[in-house]
Amino acid sequence: LYGVEDPKVSFDNTEIAFSSRTDGELKNARRLFKAFNYRWLVVYGPKLVEWSLKLGLPVKGLIRKTVFNHFCGGESIDDCEPTVDHLKASGIGTILDYSVEGENTDKNFDNTLSEILKTVEASSKYKSIPFCVFKTTGIARFELLEKVQSGERLTSDEEDEWNRVRSRFDSICKAAHDAETKVFVDAEESWIQEPIDSLTMEMMAKYNGKRAIVFNTIQLYRHDRLDFLMSCINNNEFFQGYKLVRGAYMEQERKRAKQMNYPSPIQPDKESSDRDYNAALKLCIENLGKVEVCAGTHNEESSTYLCELMKENNILFSDSRVYFAQLLGMSDHISFNLSHSGYRVAKYVPYGPVKSVMPYLGRRAAENSSIGGQIGRELHLLQNELERRKN
Ligand SMILES: Cc1cc2nc3c(=O)[nH]c(=O)nc-3n(C[C@H](O)[C@H](O)[C@H](O)COP(=O)(O)OP(=O)(O)OC[C@H]3O[C@@H](n4cnc5c(N)ncnc54)[C@H](O)[C@@H]3O)c2cc1C
């Protein structure tokens, strides 16, 4: 029962990966990923759509039918139900991700808070929703977080605003604790990450008494994060949860560091990110007594490495302290094959109004295009499966 006999899960099996997809669905997905090869579309498309929606032009239907349907569960939690069921049928959990970005008023932050609390409630009701997630910038003004991190003195209005942020943050973590579910705090840009880390560690100390409820996210594309993770694990006795990712804001990080003339927090090359990512997996697995871990990655080597680590450390492959997670619409060959082999897997299922999830969709388009470097992996897999079905 410890690990699988051969921990190397084959990610080549497209039959398992796409077993619940019809030919028509696969063909639509293939068309979409082909479109990502048009650089102009990926660079200017999301902004064009945002403007068109603001001007009331009828583009919503087209977006819904294409990129939105592929990467999102819908506009509301109810809309996501078929996706939750579809994943559940293959033993895969859902992480409902209310993906609204760029809102900036207290009213919007309170709305986002109540929506996140609904995801906590859904997660407490359904076993197939093992985690909740939120971004701190969904409940706090970016500039305020920046100011808190800078150490500059807050005005008394800002002090009040910061207290409201702390209270929203606490409400989410408390709700997850009371509902006996787990909550990820997403990681964001390095110049606002310090207050996010502090709040998250504070909540871990408060709510992770019996097991990991609150999870921080560690971005291993930062050269200082492996040491940070190590010191968090070594210096705290309470249960800790970590979602490990490489990091999504590399361009912005490098650009800002250059513009403002400070050393970039990003690793010198991809190999260094990969090395630290795998080292972080090892560190978490070796501290599983007080740590739970979720590998948020589409990287096949890291996923295989985690399977091997579990086997080496005699960890049951169904141990609920170790999860693999991918995003909806990406890397089904990893998610479905891992789940098929008995590992714990969950997928982020983003949802929200079409106009508000456009920044998220723009990042997915870039990641799957030549700009993001992932030239055609998804396309290749889709083509392989369609080809296999012909024979
Ligand atoms: C479930 C899940 C949750 C996530 N949550 C977050 C989150 O909270 N915060 C967040 O920031 N991101 C998050 N991400 C996104 C993640 O950080 C990556 O951007 C994305 O998953 C691609 O990395 P990878 O590990 O899948 O694989 P790969 O495709 O192997 O790696 C690509 C990544 O490597 C790094 N990289 C690429 N080139 C270089 C280079 N030249 N030098 C140094 N590093 C390089 C970058 O981080 C790039 O995104 C999440 C992803 C998943 C699947």
pLDDT by residue for the chain (391 residues), tens only, comes to 444 455 568 898 999 999 888 999 999 999 888 888 777 777 777 777 777 877 777 777 888 888 899 999 999 999 999 999 999 999 999 999 998 877 789 999 999 999 999 999 999 999 999 999 999 999 999 999 999 999 999 999 999 999 999 999 999 999 999 999 999 999 999 999 999 999 999 999 999 999 999 999 999 999 999 999 999 999 999 999 999 999 999 999 999 999 999 999 999 999 999 999 999 999 999 999 999 999 999 999 999 999 999 999 999 999 999 999 999 999 999 999 999 999 999 999 999 998 888 888 988 888 887 655 555 788 889 999 999 998 7
Residue 37 alpha carbon to ligand 1 centre in Å: 20
CA distances from 366 to 238, 251, 351 (A): 39, 12, 19
Residue 246 alpha carbon to ligand 1 centre in Å: 4
190 lines ligand 1 (CB under 6 A): no
- What integer pLDDT is reported at residue 2 of this predicted model? 47
How far apart CA 88 and CA 125 sit, in angstroms, is: 14
287 lines ligand 1 (CB under 6 A): no
270 lines ligand 1 (CB under 6 A): yes
Residue 311 token pair = 């086997």
How far apart CA 72 and CA 93 sit, in angstroms, is: 15
* DSSP helix, strand, coil percent of the chain (3-state; round to 5): 55, 15, 30
Contact 296, 217 (CB under 8 A): yes
E strands along 137-290, which residues? 182-185, 214-219, 240-245
- What integer pLDDT is reported at residue 372 of this predicted model? 54
- What integer pLDDT is reported at residue 195 of this predicted model? 98
- What integer pLDDT is reported at residue 3 of this predicted model? 47
192 lines ligand 1 (CB under 6 A): no
- What integer pLDDT is reported at residue 1 of this predicted model? 42
Residue 136 token pair = 């701190």
Q: How many CB atoms lie within 10 A of CB 143?
A: 11
Minimal CA–CA distance to 59: which of 49, 70, 68, 51? Answer: 49
218 lines ligand 1 (CB under 6 A): no
333 lines ligand 1 (CB under 6 A): no
Minimal CA–CA distance to 276: which of 257, 254, 299, 310? Answer: 299
Sign of CA dihedral 150, 152, 153, 154: negative
Question: Pocket of ligand 1, candidates 137, 246, 272, 323: which has the most ligand atoms within 8 Å of its Cβ, to mutate?
Answer: 246
Minimal CA–CA distance to 64: which of 357, 364, 348, 376? Answer: 357
Residues with Cβ within 8 Å of residue 251, at least 6 apart in sequence = none
- What integer pLDDT is reported at residue 84 of this predicted model? 96
Contact 130, 323 (CB under 8 A): yes
Contact 117, 171 (CB under 8 A): yes
Question: Pocket of ligand 1, candidates 92, 245, 275: which has the most ligand atoms within 8 Å of its Cβ, to mutate?
Answer: 245
Residue 76 alpha carbon to ligand 1 centre in Å: 26
How far apart CA 236 and CA 231 sit, in angstroms, is: 8
CA-closest residue to ligand 1 atom 1: 296
267 lines ligand 1 (CB under 6 A): yes
Residue 351 sits at the vertex; the CA angle it makes with 349 and 352, to the nearest 5 degrees, is 170
348 lines ligand 1 (CB under 6 A): yes
297 lines ligand 1 (CB under 6 A): yes
Residue 189 token pair = 């840009």
CA distances from 375 to 190, 368, 381 (A): 27, 6, 12
How far apart CA 217 and CA 190 sit, in angstroms, is: 12
Residue 177 token pair = 């604790």
187 lines ligand 1 (CB under 6 A): yes
How far apart CA 302 and CA 297 sit, in angstroms, is: 8
CA-closest residue to ligand 1 atom 29: 299
Number of residues that make up the chain:
391
266 lines ligand 1 (CB under 6 A): yes
How far apart CA 209 and CA 320 sit, in angstroms, is: 17
216 lines ligand 1 (CB under 6 A): no
264 lines ligand 1 (CB under 6 A): no
Burial of 320 (0-12, 13-18, 19+ CB in 10 A): exposed
- What integer pLDDT is reported at residue 100 of this predicted model? 84
DSSP 2: B
Residue 155 alpha carbon to ligand 1 centre in Å: 36
